[in-house]
Amino acid sequence: MNLIVDKLLINYESTGKGKDILLIHGWGDDHQNLLNVFKSLAKKYKLTSLDLPGFGLSQLPNQPFNTEKYAKIIGDFIQKLNLKPEIIIAHSFGGQVAIYGIGNGIIKANKLILLASAGIREYKQGKKLFIKLIAKSGKLFLVPLPQHIRRKVTRRFYQKIGSDLYLNYNLKETLGNILKEDVSLDAAKINIPTLLIYGSDDNETPPLFGQKFAQLIEYSTLEIIGHAGHFVFIDCQERVLKLVEGFIND
């Protein structure tokens, strides 16, 4: 299904009946992974999962976005569909957007579930500086090459050093904005029950992110799942589902 939100075509899917649960995916992903994992909740709830602008089948923004803009898109999306989210489940960058939106009153919900949420920027700053410096120097050697070859070579470089910049080349300025933004102060404003789930082996958003958010969000519970990575809800689906269902029914 499609909906126009702030002049952008937004793709989404809804299933089930009952109180609303909104699913917000992470960077480089789309609505399907979360919906597939949590589809069992549709027995009691109405699940709505959207593709964020620039991902999946949603329209690419014609100008760079930041976390606030994504939060406003979600707020307008909720309003247009007349949703009243009982629970928001958000992964990675989607968690960063949810934290900002809920903390600043742009997005409303009664409970929040954050899966490997991003939004803390004091971690790996040395690595990011290294990437930035090497990338800049690398451009000197790529200048004589045709543009399509420069993009291909640069994409391979970023993949080797673990950067997710080139998951979508057209969103590189947006990602640049997002990587500068820390939502710690926004997390401290959240006053709804919040469940934080992180994988012990997650190198993208490590458990220390969860520990910090747990300290900042007053009514929060932190669960760290062993032998799980950044896609903790896929790596340990049954364990995550059990935690989510227990939190929802509490």
Run means of pLDDT, 10 residues per run, the chain, 250 residues: 97 98 96 97 97 96 96 98 98 97 98 97 55 46 50 48 51 90 98 98 96 97 97 97 96
- So what's the pLDDT on residue 98? 98
Task: Give the domain ranges of the chain.
Answer: 2-121+181-249, 125-174
Please tell me the distance from the alpha carbon of residue 11 to that of residue 141, in angstroms, as a whole number: 40
pLDDT at res. 159: 47
pLDDT value of position 166: 46
| b (16+ CB within 10 A) / e for 82-119 | ebebbbbbbbbbbbbbbbbbbbbebbebebbbbbbbbb
Which pLDDT score, from 0 to 100, does residue 47 have?
98
Q: Which residues lie below 8 Å from residue 166, measured CB to CB, with a gap of 6+?
A: 154, 155, 158, 159, 172
- The pLDDT assigned to 148 comes to 53
pTM assigned to the model: 0.85
CATH 3.90.420.10 is the classification of domain 2-121+181-249: no
